[in-house]
Structure 1
Amino acid sequence: MPKVLPIALRAAVLLAAMLLSAISGAARGDERRPVTESSANELRQRLADWGVQFNITYIGEVLGNISGGVRTGAVYTGRADIGTTIDLERLVGWTGATFHANMYQIHGDGLSRSYVGNLMLVSGVEALSATRLYEMWIEQALFGRRLLIRVGQQPSDAEFIDSKYDDIFVNSALGWPGITGIILPSGGPSPPLAAPGIRLKAQLSDSLTAYLAVFDGDAAPPGPDDPQIKNANGLAFRINDPPWMIGQIRYGFELGNAALPGTIAAGAWYHFGKFDHFHLGADGRSLADPSGTGEPISLRRNQGIFGVLEQKLWHSPIDPAKGLGMFVRTSVSPGDRNLISFYIDGGLQLTGFSASRPDDKIGLAATFARISEGARQFDRDRQIFTSVATPIRDFEAVIEATYWAQLTPNFAVQPVFEYVMHPGGGLVDPRDPSGTRRIRDAIVFGIRTTTTF
């Protein structure tokens, strides 16, 4: 197999040369013709003939917390996603190989971070401002594309514990599930931090697909700072941390005489690292005991199991590929070393309901994350040792309703409503001097725009 670095460098050089040639050709010459939409399309077609595709997507959103949370207020958040996918067989003759890379430019404040105080972020775009490499991988297809091997920095949320009916939603937990996004180091390989890894995807039959991946177990170096600060540019490329493994089997089927397609997936993950006990210290005392050392028991390993069901419920008469679909996802992890021990979400997505607006979508979904028994027992002990009736955390839940309006082929506007129950799982409101009142439920309204170039 050809070496990855020379191939990538050659692709980059060829691409740069083509772009420079196209730009200089448009800028000089007897005709001095301007760069028009026609010439841009000509350039895109020329690159496509070479197996090179570019994508640029910009998501901008204004979100406001109008009631509850830590405080009321509004933010603007934006993320530009710039990427390329290169067919290496067409470009350099590497049979069955594909190269992909993309980067983020993130800017603006975060509503959850600054105003709501919840665990499952109001927006999946929310992150610390940065310009960072996200993905950079090569995929090799074998046996007529029945086996796909992907190597490099990559996310896990696009294939694992995923449903095609959750793509419309804004809340971060309705992308990468709330449980894994909260309990895994650095949130696991998901926006805004991917991790180096190897993923295998095997098409075992027409209806059965198996996935297995091994990632470095932490996208950021150890230490107390935010992982997004420790790996600010996405170039840490960590490979020496205890690994994280995830696997799943996905089965496709059709339901009833209408042949409504559906899938069911089941899987598990396993992390080989060390995790702190949420309740007990190494000295055997409660971590809430002021006479204890405050050093938690270090537990080996962590794991979880999960399941996903998605089902189309109705074919649209406008377009049979569209209609009404539903999904349910659930996951369980140990309650002694994780803040969340049980998670479930689900929702409905409707499209193809209007002949005049065939690409519009309506979505309604809800999430529920249960605070683990270890964390709850710590809260009970804290009440005992402080004699203050501080809240005992129990759960966080979110209801989201949204409408995707496709105004042009390249531009969509999406109003969104979220109701956040028990932000932080029922944390103490930092504005309450008595320390006995929870953060109040939050009501969030906003609007997101998505532009593709």
Structure 2
Amino acid sequence: MKNHRRSGGRTVLCLAALVVSSMTPTAYANQPTSIWSRHHLFGDWAGVRPFLAGYGIKLGAVEQPVPSVVLGGGARQGRAFAALLTLSARVGLARYTGIPGLSGYLSAWVVQGHGPTAYYVHSLSGLSYEEAPDGARLGDAYLSWRSSGDTIHIKLGKFGIDENFDQNPAASVLVNSNFTYRNIMANNLPGGGPAYSYEGPGAMIAVQVTRQLRLRGGLFSGDPLGQPLEGPLPPARDSNGLIFPLDTGALMIGEADYAYRLPGFGKGKVLAGGLYDTLSRPDLLYSVTGQSLALNAIGTNVGSPRADRGDYVIYAGDTQTLWHGCGSRRLRVFSRIAYAPPSHNLISLDVQGGIVLNGTFPGRPHDSAAFAISYDRISARKISLVRSENALGNLGKPIPSAETDFELDYTALITPWLTATPDLQYIMHPGGGIPDQEDRMKVEPNAVVAQAEFTIVF
């Protein structure tokens, strides 16, 4: 991740201006409800929203600011501010094409500021999902078709695997990006894989085989940033999301999920899947000559890393309801695991687990509280490289092992258009045990990060 310019102050001022303007008596004189009970901060946009809905067009605008502070540990302590503005348009195309179930979707992202991940903590996980290189870029652009009864769903265009595969609805309230899009994919796949904030061109089909069993399959570009199969990297990678690279290999993904119910508990869902990317990746230990890359530590040039063609990740997960109260109140647990080959992947094992209480208190049916743990193990070949470098060069660098993240948060619905999620995270061995900037013989200290994620629906 890049170090981003500070634009948080401007974002706060803009949001403050929007809120103040919405409270003026002339701004929304025709609104049928007060500002605190409407579903959107700006209501029906002075009649624009229902007018467009009559033509099958639904516009969306959501801002998600995340102020944060690193309280201790990490590379250094300090405050940060990241924010994500999502602009979207969904169009029902059935009336225009005569094809029932056909729709189109287009979105754009405007990322502001920088979060604490790359700037302060250097963790494998993005400490908030909104963190990304700042600027504006195209998000999703796809056609979607759903059959009658939603037994078949097809998508074609530019979108991400993070929204369609390996999903864990119970963990959606968590802020750490690892619980939404696993580190084992984001850190290993070329270009981070087709996911926020660089989606990839692709196609997906989902089939509801029975009431319990659903199958999904997808085919995407091998690198959403357009890296060629062979040769040097392009001088500039895609910064605006407007390219649709179709000549950079292929990523294939498939999974199955099965819904069940345990006697005495409640509904559950188990899923299993895997992906394969055809692009070659540099080996972590051996050069093109077959020698150890650790020889570079003593000044022996053994050449570039050898190319290991093809990469894969296999994964599984389970979500189980332990208790179901009145209305939407329920207590759920989840567990997830994923594996990638250690030869050319930084992370070889990802394990997660957590517990989520929806409807935390009577009278607060839309609130939730969550606690989760994730564990990302550094691959054995990366560890072997560091050990060999230490042995050859008498370097004494710390041996990487794994990163473990703990997260505790509470999501409160303030109004229908505003939610707030205070969040506390503890990161053990950031980066899996990277050297401390002040003392390269020691690992970077564990980090404590406090954040608050807000979601404002305009």
TMscore range, shorter length: 0.7 to 0.9
Task: Check if 1:276 corresponds to 2:282.
Answer: yes
Amino acid aligned to 2:311: N
Moved beyond 6 Å, runs of 4+: 32-35, 223-227
Whole-Å Cα distance in 2 between the matches of residues 372 and 195 of structure 1?
A: 27
Task: Give yes or no for contact 2:406–2:425 (8 Å, CA) kept in 1.
Answer: yes
Pairs aligned (count) = 417
Residue matched to 1:185: 190
Q: Which moved more, 1:41-50 or 1:323-332?
A: 41-50
TM-score by length of 2: 0.87
Kindly indicate whether structure 1 or structure 2 has the higher relative contact order, using CA contacts under 8 Å at least 6 residues apart: 2
Whole-Å Cα distance in 1 between the matches of residues 420 and 214 of structure 2?
A: 35
Task: Check if 1:328 corresponds to 2:335.
Answer: yes
Q: Which moved more, 1:269-278 or 1:91-100?
A: 91-100
Residue matched to 1:195: 200
Amino acid aligned to 1:270: Y
Task: Give yes or no for contact 1:281–1:292 (8 Å, CA) kept in 2.
Answer: no
Residue matched to 1:219: 224
Change (3 A) 1:139 1:374: same
Residue matched to 1:119: 124
Residue matched to 1:301: 310
Which one of the candidate residues 138, 151, 155 is aligned to 1:150?
Answer: 155
User: Is the partner of 2:73 in helix, strand or coil?
Assistant: strand
- The alpha-carbon deviation at position 44 of structure 1 amounts to 2.1
Which one of the candidate residues 11, 31, 37 is aligned to 1:37?
Answer: 31
Task: Check if 1:267 corresponds to 2:276.
Answer: no
- The alpha-carbon deviation at position 414 of structure 1 amounts to 1.1
User: Is the partner of 1:379 in helix, strand or coil?
Assistant: helix
Task: Give yes or no for contact 1:286–1:292 (8 Å, CA) kept in 2.
Answer: no
Residue matched to 1:243: 250
Whole-Å Cα distance in 1 between the matches of residues 28 and 449 of structure 2?
A: 45
RMSD across aligned C-alpha pairs, in angstroms?
A: 2.1
Whole-Å Cα distance in 2 between the matches of residues 192 and 262 of structure 1?
A: 30
Structure 2 gaps of 5+ residues are: 1-25, 33-43
Amino acid aligned to 2:274: A
Task: Check if 1:64 corresponds to 2:104.
Answer: no
Amino acid aligned to 1:175: T
Task: Check if 1:169 corresponds to 2:174.
Answer: yes
Task: Check if 1:289 corresponds to 2:322.
Answer: no
Q: Percent identity?
A: 27
Task: Give yes or no for contact 1:56–1:82 (8 Å, CA) kept in 2.
Answer: yes
Superposed counterparts of 1:68-79, under 5 Å: 68-79=73-84
Q: Which moved more, 1:281-290 or 1:33-42?
A: 33-42
Q: Which moved more, 1:330-339 or 1:285-294?
A: 285-294
Whole-Å Cα distance in 2 between the matches of residues 253 and 231 of structure 1?
A: 43
User: Is the partner of 1:148 in helix, strand or coil?
Assistant: strand
Q: 1:169-222 CA deviation, whole Å, 9 max, x = no partner?
A: 111111101111110111111111110000010110111000000000111133
- The alpha-carbon deviation at position 357 of structure 1 amounts to 1.8
Which one of the candidate residues 409, 412, 420 is aligned to 2:416?
Answer: 409
Residue matched to 2:86: 81
Q: Which moved more, 1:149-158 or 1:47-56?
A: 47-56
- The alpha-carbon deviation at position 129 of structure 1 amounts to 0.8
Task: Give yes or no for contact 1:285–1:292 (8 Å, CA) kept in 2.
Answer: no
Structure 1 gaps of 5+ residues are: 1-31
Residue matched to 2:98: 93
- The alpha-carbon deviation at position 54 of structure 1 amounts to 1.5
Q: Which moved more, 1:193-202 or 1:89-98?
A: 89-98
Which one of the candidate residues 311, 320, 342 is aligned to 2:320?
Answer: 311
Task: Give yes or no for contact 2:402–2:432 (8 Å, CA) kept in 1.
Answer: yes
- The alpha-carbon deviation at position 43 of structure 1 amounts to 3.1
- The alpha-carbon deviation at position 428 of structure 1 amounts to 0.8
Task: Give yes or no for contact 1:62–1:447 (8 Å, CA) kept in 2.
Answer: yes
Change (3 A) 1:271 1:37: same
